[in-house]
Structure formats: structure tokens, C-alpha cells
Amino acid sequence: MGLAFAGFQLLFNLYMKELSYKESAIGQILSMNAWGAVIITLPVAYILQKFQIRKVLIFSTLLASMFYFLQATILELKGLLWVSLILGMSVASYRVAAAPFFMKNSTPQERTYLFSMNFGIMMLAAMVGSLGGGYLVSLFNNILKNQVWAYRGSLYVAVFLGLLGVIPFYLIKPEKSENEKGESLVWEFKLLKERGGLLLKLCVPFFIVGLGAGLIIPFLNLYFRDRFLLPAKSIGVYYALLQFFMLAGIILGPVLSKKVGMIKSVVWTQLASIPFMVCLAFTNILPLAVMAFLLRGALMNMNQPITTNFSMEKVSEKEQPLTNSLTALAWTLSWGISANLGGKLIQAYGYTLPLLIATGLYILSSILYYYFFSSKEDRDLGKVKPLIPEVAVQKVPADFKYE
């Protein structure tokens, strides 16, 4: 599934441009994908309490593969919007179900290694998918002599690879404990009422960062295509390098958190990424843009496990599933709003304006994080074990999207 995610993340926008779609239309399609995730995030958290998680994973994998195929096949905008909505629902179901599945099918002794291995495999898949996706476009173009079909053929390969994910899911024998009864919806609404203030403070920074990210991050492949006239193969190399830098950042994140605390780590890394955002906004020098792209990605994603860990530490174990769903919902909702706006801004004004607006939103998120939590952070909350190459907490965002 990681190969499919990476292939579509790299190639789909470029494919849409080959079909002569404007950035505003591409933004609408990406926005509908996010709205699908918004619609399903809370319901799927409840569904996972009632159904065997393995079956949810198998069904969502099949559904995602089918709608990835349709997204690579349909040419009309209206059809693509509906397909993207359902695709967003299926991919979000897959991602939200993954962490509880690991929790129920592992012991505390092996759990950290399991989450770390999953994260490492997803990063490896993203590297391979980025490199392979760009290479496939070049290969198919040499064979077919048609750029549109070169992109479409590469996307079909990604769909096939994602579909193979059903096989290992099917072969896993689920634990009997998977049928345990979860909490009721009434309890969840009671929790929202009693803990609403804390949950709002945890979600608002996610929402603001998501607003900034949605404006520009989904369009960075188009940024390199339009500003520097690069082919998909070269962009794929940069995206593969980005995975390596992100992995390095996430490994170093817990080390920094142990030294200075969770909140300062989040604030410092987000603010440190700001100069590189500004550099991307104004530079026309390719090596400088690539370095800014890589370092910005490493710094912004360095705090991914830290923010999730902090959110989980601030609530009780019973409250963690709903809290995780709400923070993911805040991120995805803001992404859905801003991706549509980002496409329109890029089409009208280019890439500089949305990059600068995103920079301002990242600064605002950092200020709010510090204001909400800096004076209340417990000493032991800042001590995330520096697990190398292990990661203390696996974020289930929507994730697998870059900030």
C-alpha cells in the first residue's frame, strides 16, 4: 500500500497537468479526497470497535485499489471529484485501522519494534515508489511515445502493487481479543463535553498547520515541474531523498524531545523550517530549492511522533482513540479546505503567495502550541526515549501526507 500511496502522491498531479487540468481543478480533486477522510474518520473509529479489524483492512485495501484505478482512468472532472471523495474515505479507513490492529495483535514487549518496523517499511516504500514512479513514466514514454499513457500506465502499476496488500492481511490470523466490545457513542459524546477544552487546544494547532500545508504541500511536485521545468523522473529522485531526510528528522526528534521537552521541540522545529519555506517561495536556483525542500520536510516532520505522543499523554488510555481521531480530523478538515484554495491561488498568483501564507500559519501554530502547553508540560512528558531506528509513537494521520 505504501508503494501505491507514493506512486499516486508523486504522479497524479503531474498526470492531471498532462490532461490539461489547471491547478484550481487539481486543488478541487485533492480537496475532495480530504473531505472523504473527514467524513469517515470518526465513524470508522466506532466501526473498529464493532467489527474485526482485519476485515476492515482487507475491505478498505480493495476499495482503495479500485478507486485508485478509477482515478487514473476517468477523465471528466465531475467523475474525478466523486471518485476522490470515496477514495479519501477508503484510504482514511485503512490508516485509522492500522494502529489498533497492531495494538491488538502484539504484546507490549514487541509493540515498539512492530510500530518502528511498519514506519521503516512505509518510508522505504515511499522511497522506492518515488524513484520507481518517475522511472516508470520515462520507461513507458519511451515505449508508448505518449506522455499521458506513460503516466496512466505508471499509476496502474501502483494500483496493482497496492492490491497485493490484501494477501498478507488475509494470511494473518486475528487474535480472539479483536471481538471485545468498545465504548458506546454516548460515552464518546460525554467525553467531548467533559474534556472539550483540552481536546480543542490539542486540535487547533493541528488544524492551523494543516491549513498551511494544504495550500502548498500537495503542489510541490508541480512547483518543480513549473518553476524548473523538471521531468517526473527528476522529481521522483527529490521525493525519494525527502523520505531519507524525513526519516533522519524523525529519528532525531525523540533525542531533541528528551533534551528540551516536547513542546519546545515542536515549536523550535516548526520555526526552524520557516527560512526554508521563504527560500522556496523566492528562489529560482534549483540546488537551493532542492535543499530547502529537503530540510523543510525533515524539520516539519521531526515533530510528528512528538505531537502525537504528547496528545496521547495528555489524556487517559480510554480517551486515546477518540483523541487520535479528533486530531487526525482537525488536520484533514483543514487540508480539505486549503487544498482547494491553494490550487486557485497557484493558478492566479504562482507559488510564492501560498508559500508565504503557509509560513504565517506555521508561525501561528507554533505560537499557539507554546501558549497552550509550555507552562503546563510535565517533566516526564518531555522524555521520549530516543529509539534509533525505533519511533516511540506511530502517527495515524492522515498521513501519510507531508506537512
pLDDT tens digits, 219-230:
999 999 999 999
- CA 68 to CA 163: how far, in whole Å? 10
Sign of CA dihedral 17, 19, 22, 26: negative
Beta-carbon contacts of 116 under 8 Å, excluding residues fewer than 6 positions away, are 387, 389, 390, 391
- Cis, peptide link before residue 389, omega less than 30° from 0: yes
| Cβ proximity of 8 and 69 under 8 Å | no
Could you tell me the pTM of the whole model?
0.82
Say what the pLDDT of residue 118 is.
Answer: 79
Most confident of 204-208, 275-279, 304-308: 275-279
Share of the chain above pLDDT 90, in %: 50
Q: Is 108 exposed, middle or buried (0-12, 13-18, 19+ CB in 10 A)?
A: exposed
The model's pLDDT over 79-99, given as tens digits with 9 standing for 90+, comes to 999 999 999 999 888 887 877
Say what the pLDDT of residue 41 is.
Answer: 78
Say what the pLDDT of residue 188 is.
Answer: 56
pLDDT tier for residue 202 given thresholds of 50, 70 and 90: confident
Long-range CB contact pairs, 314-318, < 8 A, 24+: 314/198, 314/202, 314/381, 315/195, 315/198, 318/183
| DSSP assignment string, 89-110 | HHHHHHHHHHHHHHHHTS-HHH
CA dihedral 153, 81, 329, 270 (to 10 degrees): 60
Q: What is the mean pLDDT of residues 36-54?
A: 81
The model's pLDDT over 379-395, given as tens digits with 9 standing for 90+, comes to 444 444 433 333 333 34
Say what the pLDDT of residue 183 is.
Answer: 54
In the three-class reduction of DSSP (H, G, I as helix; E, B as strand; rest coil), residue 378 is classed as: coil
The model's pLDDT over 327-339, given as tens digits with 9 standing for 90+, comes to 888 888 898 899 9
The model's pLDDT over 94-128, given as tens digits with 9 standing for 90+, comes to 887 877 787 777 777 777 677 767 777 888 898 99
User: Does the domain spanning 2-174+182-382 belong to CATH 3.20.20.70?
Assistant: no
| DSSP assignment string, 218-268 | GGHHHHHHHHH---HHHHHHHHHHHHHHHHHHHHHHHHHHHHH-HHHHHHH
Say what the pLDDT of residue 399 is.
Answer: 41
Helical packing angle, 232-260 and 220-228, nearest 10°: 130
What mean pLDDT is reported for the chain?
Answer: 83
Cα Dmax for the chain: 62
The model's pLDDT over 132-168, given as tens digits with 9 standing for 90+, comes to 999 999 999 999 999 999 999 999 999 999 999 899 9
In 3D space, the residue among 93, 52, 60 whose CA is nearest the CA of residue 180 turns out to be 52
Would you list the domain boundaries of the chain? 2-174+182-382
